[in-house]
Structure 1
């Protein structure tokens, strides 16, 4: 059977991969919904809740990268079976949890399963549809926003009075479906393996430069979790990068390295903003009588529909052209979100939703099309880097921007009204990886007068919205980068996918 023809069995395998990706989104959205209730039921601090939320992301990203090194040897079916076990175990451990430690472990196991799913489904779909990678990767990744919408709506229908254990158990629905479907599916051999490209040649596509980027961000994330010193982080990064470089004797494909760097602002624009959008839009959405979470659900629904019907768009516009257009649209959408009020918020959210829809899968498609020798590794390193960048850089820098914007807003109010709110309720200077900043002291604010609280809250709400203006720089940087790549390929005769000749292309 030719893996590129998308016959009926292949389409069922694609559907299996799609449902597996839906499962990862179910786990993500349902945990986010019940997280506040865990704080009440288990008497958890905000720090503990933050740690549980964090462990749902960084193992996800790291397992994508690590499994990419061995998934071809283990086998896709075996790997997806391991992800199934992780998802079932995570749900069981979560609903029977007795406190912080068991919730942390359950979330960690679920995140590992999510990462393995990504490590499997991306190269499987890229191999099955080798001549239409970008189209089918977009359709595959419709599973993520689709799962966010479906899981979120199910939980909302169940209502606030329904026990959180039942909401978490919803994850078992897509888990069981993909677990049963995979049993009779025959998974393809990766196109790299079919073409006889060696394991070392695959590593050479990444090279020392690619290794330096991904190892740096992974090690710094682990260092943050385990409390490693800066010098220990640097030593580990240099050791791994040097050993990798000596073994591969390759700098790495320059274009791949460039795409890795572009993936960082892309992840900040899409996932980093998504992680804050509910909080940022709460004040404005409350004024029109809607929960802010509906902004995320709404934009996710837009992504789901557009990704499913990405094929015709990609046939008319090259992948890089589509990414350039989307970058510009996302920048406009974010700017309007920062300026809009009332119903216009939904209009701005629609523009932003259109802009971000094709980012992630189209970038994966470009990597898969241009670097098929990299197999599962180049494809999943790109996705893994994006996921870690969203958590490490995206969420952090948007938080930093908010704190700085709120401090400036209160200072400006003091100057205009001749008040001293900054002296009373702004902290001393703090230091972060993004620079020095001053933030609102919530403990002191809790003891403020009603009039002061009302004033600061109004300034805070406006400053949070204005923070989105600063995020616009990321899609603008992406637009410039993609336009530069379009010009580069134009000088080379145009963008085209690289096809490998397989040993059994019959």
Structure 2
């Protein structure tokens, strides 16, 4: 049997693969369009900053939660039904978005888009892992080239039609949606590798185990609470997570595969390093961009740098096969993390056009981290089926929302506060605000009313300080990939002690 044959000895359906690829393009295309039109929507619908933040949250939490839900049932109800559900949700949500005329209507439309996006993620990963079960890491990397490709195309579309209404820009999301729908509908989906091998549902749960479900639940509860505009105490969070872990432990008699738990611990910092840092890049570019640029020029510059780095990542993932073969998935994670750390440190010092070079190094570093992690999980835990493969993605997104993004914001506030207090004490006394509560304790803040009435000279000083502090944030965030590097090195030497990295056969 060749590497391009499935377990039944048949060649993979490449039309199905490209359908999955374009489905992933469609999800990130919507992400990019929303990110680049939210300011325009805010002005049109009169949204407050809090409402704007809620819209962003509605686009993330259901994404992770739908991944978890469908990962538990996709092997039972079949990939085709899940794919059709994703197409239906995408269609309805985009139509609702185009008709949105208030915060409430836009919120629910965005929430449904997130459900559709998470549903796509829930079926494309196990489908591709099943189709290419002998080259999972390679083909999952190629599949996930669709994510930066969609981000680049979505951002490019909003730039090209910058003068158009936000409804027109959202309408462009129908292009990838129609393409992947037309490709998906006639396709016959394979039986999941786990199901075909006769591995039971209970054995799938055992791979995740009590500890894995504790982590999943501990991140899911605060996510659901935030969706409901409620705040869950950590006592309640850990209490519910503990009950779920005990129940799962009783049913499965398993704490979970220790290596899988190890990967779960690294995916949160990975998501924050990649996706969380991306969210701060536009602000860095606006404050530290080329001299002589201002206003719309800096916004445009930030968008083009984002498109450029997304294209770099797309190309790298498309040619992941030889790279994965040379380094092995765990070796590639080690190398990628080292380059990502160097890229973050470079970004912390870069200004002007040098930012492009720093962003390039960072893009090279992060390009393979997420997709290669999925490849490693699919190759090492085949008995876990869709649950282990998609559970990793869900934990990463949930960690980013619950801990990662707040951590970046907290670090930003702390760095700026220390810098102003040390270097501009007179200005600091003028604008220092009351500490605000955060998940990491009290965070320093500035009094925005006092900031608004500063003179031009003080405003310039504050802007410079904010630019410096945002660059300093990249140094602080580099701690996360440094932690990941330690974990990856532990796994690297573990595999080396066992004769080197080898994919696990599902019957082992």
User: TM-score, normalization: structure 2?
Assistant: 0.95
Name which of structure 1's ranges 191-200 and 475-484 shifts more when overlaid on structure 2: 475-484
Show the counterpart of 1:284: 288
Contact conserved, 2:12 with 2:131, CA < 8 A, in 1?
no
Cα-to-partner distance string for 1:174-210 (whole Å, 9 max, x where unaligned):
1111111112111000000000000001001100010
In 2: Cα distance, 1:390 partner to 1:211 partner: 18
Contact 2:290 2:352 in 1 (8 A): no
Deviation by residue 1:70-89 (Cα, 9 ceiling, x = unmatched): 01111101101000011111
SS in 2 for 1:25: helix
Which residue is 2:264 aligned to?
Answer: 260
Secondary structure of 1:185's counterpart equals coil
SS of 1:432 mapped into structure 2: coil
1:379 to 386, 389, 401: 389
Which of residues 56, 72, 92 is equivalent to 1:89? 92
Runs of 4+, deviation exceeding 3 Å: 4-9
Report the CA distance between 1:38 and its aligned residue: 1.3
Shift of 1:490: 1.1
Aligned position for 1:196? 198
Residue 20 of structure 1 corresponds to which residue in structure 2?
23
| Secondary structure class of the residue paired with 2:415 | helix
2:63 to 57, 60, 73: 60
**1:295 Cα deviation from its structure 2 partner:** 2.8
Deviating more after overlay: 36-45 vs 353-362: 36-45
Deviations 1:78-137 (A, max 9, x none): 101000011111110001011001100000000000001000000000000000000000
Q: CA RMSD in A?
A: 1.7
Alignment correspondent of 1:164: 166
Summarize the Cα distance change of 1:164–1:7 in structure 2 as closer, same or farther, 3 Å threshold: farther
Deviation at 1:2, TM superposition (A): 4.8
Q: Is the 8 A contact 1:192 1:374 kept in 2?
A: yes
CA distance in 2, matches of 1:378, 1:403: 36
Looking at structure 1, the residues matched to 24 and 457 of structure 2 have their Cα atoms a distance apart, in angstroms, of 48
Conserved? CA contact 2:5–2:132, under 8 Å: no
Which of 325, 332, 335 is matched with 2:342 structurally? 332
Question: 292, 297, 312: which is aligned to 2:307?
Answer: 297
Determine the C-alpha separation between the residues in 2 that align with 1:215 and 1:399. 24
Q: Structure 2: where are the runs of 5+ without partners?
A: none
2:421 corresponding residue in structure 1: 411
* Number of residues of Structure 1 aligned to a counterpart in Structure 2: 497
Distance 1:125 1:442 in 2: 50
SS in 2 for 1:251: coil
Contact 2:213 2:241 in 1 (8 A): no
Other-structure match for 1:319: 329
Instruction: Name the counterpart of 2:483.
Output: 477
Q: Secondary structure at the match of 1:386?
A: helix
* 1:201 and 1:373 in contact (8 A); partners too: yes
Question: What corresponds to 1:434 in structure 2?
Answer: 440
2:367 paired residue number: 357
Pairing of 1:70-469 with structure 2 (within 5 A)? 70-159=73-162, 161-226=163-228, 227-230=230-233, 231-287=235-291, 289=293, 290=298, 291-414=301-424, 419-469=425-475
Secondary structure in structure 2 of the residue aligned to 1:283: helix
Runs of 5+ in structure 1 lacking a partner? none
Q: 2:486, 2:41 → 1: CA distance?
A: 44
Residue in 1 aligned with 2:37? Answer: 34
Residue 224 of structure 1, CA deviation: 2.8
Answer whether contact 1:372 1:499 (CA < 8 A) is retained: yes
Contact 2:24 2:121 in 1 (8 A): yes
Partner Cα distance (1:157, 1:6) in 2: 46
Contact 1:137/1:362 (<8 A) preserved: yes
CA separation in 2, counterparts of 1:199 and 1:250? 14
Q: Structure 1 9/326 Cα, relative in aligned 2: closer, same or farther at 3 Å?
A: closer
Q: Is the 8 A contact 1:6 1:128 kept in 2?
A: no
Post-superposition offset of 1:8: 6.7
How has the CA–CA distance of structure 1 residues 364 and 6 changed in structure 2, closer, same or farther, with 3 Å as cutoff? farther
Q: Indicate if the aligned counterparts of 1:3 and 1:10 stay in contact, CA closer than 8 A.
A: no
